[in-house]
Chain A
Amino acid sequence: MSIEVRIPTILRPYTKDQKNVEAAGATLADVITDLDSQYAGLGERLLENGALRRFINIYVNDEDVRFLGGLQAPIKDGDSITILPAVAGG
């Protein structure tokens, strides 16, 4: 089972500068666990106290995961996940 994950510039130091990596999992939470086991520290940049960080956007295919069940969003083979830091500030 293989899912392509798009890594934003700011997180590429964790993935040896790879823009696209592969991961496995049946839910977004599983995928993040798998990513963190391959690229130590990446999970912490996506999660805070076990929840998705507010200013990290994650999309499955073209849909914001917040509308797909968040960490419980179902993931299937061939899905494409995109991670983008929010462009935000005060």
Chain B
Amino acid sequence: MTLEISRAFVDAILEQSRAEYPDECCGVILGPIGSDKALRHKPMVNSAHSPTFYEFDPKDLLSLYREIDDSDEEIVVIYHSHTETEAYPSRTDISYAGEPGAHYVLVSTRKEIAPATEFRSYRIIDGAVTEEPVVILN
């Protein structure tokens, strides 16, 4: 599997991660059901407001699912930022990963690599993490 994503979304996610620093930021990119196309970016509020944890607010989560049901979309990408560590799924990321069909994107803006950033994508299925290539479309 490969994640194809437009440059504008990559830039917007990295910008969100810097804006919400030191907290983790999070969000989704939606696409038509079955298309695997990341077309509609929707930043979400990290209701945990934490540098080490993120969670979509349960009310926002329900609204999101109702919205995509009505629009025949699905969650293509679920992303969040790691503020001080590598862009690799943590143990908690793996244990709570509940969308086997989604690309789990992690970004990192940790100081060690600044001004460079990391933007990586994974499948997380039944506790198994598989990194996949990211193709950025200009």
Contact = CB atoms under 8 A, between A and B. Distances in A.
Contacts of B9: none
A88 interface: yes
Contacts of B89: 89
Contacts of B59: 64
A86 to B, nearest CB: 6
B97 interface: yes
A87 B53 contact: no
B7 to A, nearest CB: 25
B90 interface: yes
Given A87-B26, A88-B55, A9 B65 contact: no
A85 interface: yes
B78 A87 contact: yes
Contacts of B21: none
Interface in A34-57: 55, 57
B13 to A, nearest CB: 15
Interface in B61-113: 61-62, 65, 78, 80, 89-93, 96-101
Q: Chain A: interface residue count, which band? A: 10 to 19
A90 B53 contact: yes
A57 B99 CA distance: 14
A82 B62 contact: yes
B10 to A, nearest CB: 20
B56 A59 contact: no
Nearest to A64: B58
A84 interface: yes
A87 B65 contact: no
Interface of A: 8-10, 55, 57, 59, 62, 64, 66, 82, 84-90
What 8 A-B pairs come out closest when comparing CB atoms? A85-B98, A90-B92, A89-B93, A88-B55, A87-B56, A90-B90, A57-B58, A88-B96
Interface of B: 26, 28, 44, 48, 52-56, 58-59, 61-62, 65, 78, 80, 89-93, 96-101
